[in-house]
């Protein structure tokens, strides 16, 4: 309830600010700027809300941190299904979702969708090897999109943005439990007469919090020490376990 009240207060201030400064056509913010992944994390909802300086449509593109990804294809060799071909893409967002206040094709032409990478079909994935034949790239690209959709980190539908009057808008970004960590960029676009008239990008940090995060970071940075600690802890556990049966 406190969060809802805070959002309402913020919306009211936004509205007055937008009215006072007509030169700012678009303002948006998130209910939280940090999603903390703890031991019992089951997903998170973040409210995105904002105001425009008049009628128009809003499109939101959410992109997770970019990684290099390898797609592998299995083929049958001597009766066994084995990975036979692999293909790498760079700059692949680990999370991707689109939200819109109206059907996309009604409000933005294809060229603009492609420019702003709105929709999975317009996502630009860079093949790592330059000399690749286009059919292979297309196959592996489709497999990557397919896999990410099945994992629930690429939205296959366009989410809805609802307007309150013609100036205030809001939507809920629902993130799944298997959310990749890193800095997300949420691009909010104001669209009028088939063109983007204003845009704003808001970062959202998704990070592991607590013991798990520290263990992971330690294992990464001090891998030798981590390995030694893992051995010592396991050996100690084994020694302690044998104590009650010493005299048996």
Our measurement of the distance from residue 83's CA atom to the centroid of its chain's CA atoms, rounded to an integer in Å, reads 28
Note whether 216 binds another protein by CB under 8 A. Answer: yes
Q: According to the binding rule CB under 8 A, does residue 129 interact with another protein?
A: no
Does residue 154 touch another protein according to CB under 8 A?
A: no
Residue 81 in the binding site for another protein (CB under 8 A): yes
Q: Does 135 bind another protein (CB under 8 A)?
A: no
Nearest approach, Cβ of residue 68 and another protein (Å): 4
Please state the closest distance from residue 155 (CB atom) to another protein, in A.
17
Helix (H, G, I), strand (E, B) or coil at 97: strand
Choose between 13 and 223: whose C-beta lies nearer to another protein: 223
Please identify which residue in 52, 100, 113, 148 interacts with another protein, judged by CB under 8 A.
148
Binding mask 55-74 for another protein (x = CB under 8 A): ------------xxxxxxxx
Part in contact with another protein (CB under 8 A); list of ranges 18-26, 111-119, 144-152, 155-163: 144-152
Give Cα separations from 190 to 29, 36, 101, 113, 242 (angstroms): 14, 29, 10, 13, 67
Q: Which of residues 62, 108, 144, 161 is near another protein by CB under 8 A? A: 144
For another protein, the binding residue among 102, 180, 200, 202 (CB under 8 A) is: 180
In DSSP notation, 170-231 reads: EEEEEEPTTPPPEEEEEEEEEEETTEEEEEEEEEEEEEE-SHHHHHHHHHHHSHHHHHHHHH
Calculate Rg over the CA atoms of the chain: 24
Sheet containing strand 162-164, edge to edge, reads 26-30, 44-52, 168-175, 162-164
Q: In the complex with another protein, which residue's Cβ is closer, 32 or 146?
A: 146
Instruction: Retrieve residue 180's tokens.
Output: 């990749």
| Site size with another protein, rule: CB under 8 A | 59
Cα separation, 82 vs 73, whole angstroms: 8
> In the block, which residue shows the tokens 């309150």?
164
Distance CA(100)–CA(160), nearest Å, equals 5
Q: Minimum Å distance from CB 7 to another protein?
A: 29
3-state secondary structure of 55: coil
42 binds another protein (CB under 8 A): yes
> Nearest distance from residue 132's CB to another protein, in Å?
16
Mask: binding to another protein, 218-247, rule CB under 8 A, as x and -?
-xx--xx-xxxxxx-xxxxxxx-xx--xx-
Measured from the Cβ of residue 126, the count of other Cβ atoms closer than 10 Å reads: 12
Which spans of this chain sit near another protein (rule: CB under 8 A)? 37-42, 67-76, 79-83, 86, 88, 92, 94, 140, 143-144, 146-148, 177, 180, 208, 212-213, 215-216, 219-220, 223-224, 226-231, 233-239, 241-242, 245-246
């Amino acid at each position: 309830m406190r969060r809802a009240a805070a959002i309402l207060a913020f919306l009211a201030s936004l509205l007055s600010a937008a009215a006072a400064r007509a030169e700012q056509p678009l303002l948006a913010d998130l209910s939280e700027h940090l999603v903390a992944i703890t031991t019992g994390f089951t997903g998170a909802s973040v409210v995105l809300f904002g105001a425009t300086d008049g009628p128009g449509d809003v499109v939101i593109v959410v992109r997770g941190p970019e990684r290099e990804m390898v797609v592998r294809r299995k083929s049958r060799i001597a009766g066994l299904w084995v990975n036979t071909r692999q293909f790498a893409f760079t700059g692949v967002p680990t999370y991707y979702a689109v939200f819109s206040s109206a059907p996309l094709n009604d409000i933005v032409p294809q060229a603009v969708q492609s420019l702003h990478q709105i929709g999975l079909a317009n996502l630009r994935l860079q093949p790592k090897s330059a000399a690749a034949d286009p059919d292979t790239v297309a196959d592996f690209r489709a497999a990557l999109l397919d896999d990410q959709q099945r994992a629930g980190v690429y939205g296959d539908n366009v989410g809805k943005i609802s307007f309150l009057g013609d100036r205030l808008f809001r939507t809920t970004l629902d993130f799944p439990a298997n959310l990749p960590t890193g800095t997300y960029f949420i691009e909010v676009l104001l669209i009028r007469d088939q063109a983007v008239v204003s845009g704003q990008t808001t970062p959202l940090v998704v990070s592991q919090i607590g013991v798990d995060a520290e263990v992971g970071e330690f294992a990464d940075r001090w891998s030798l020490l981590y390995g030694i600690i893992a051995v010592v802890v396991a050996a100690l556990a084994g020694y302690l376990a044998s104590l009650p049966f010493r005299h048996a």
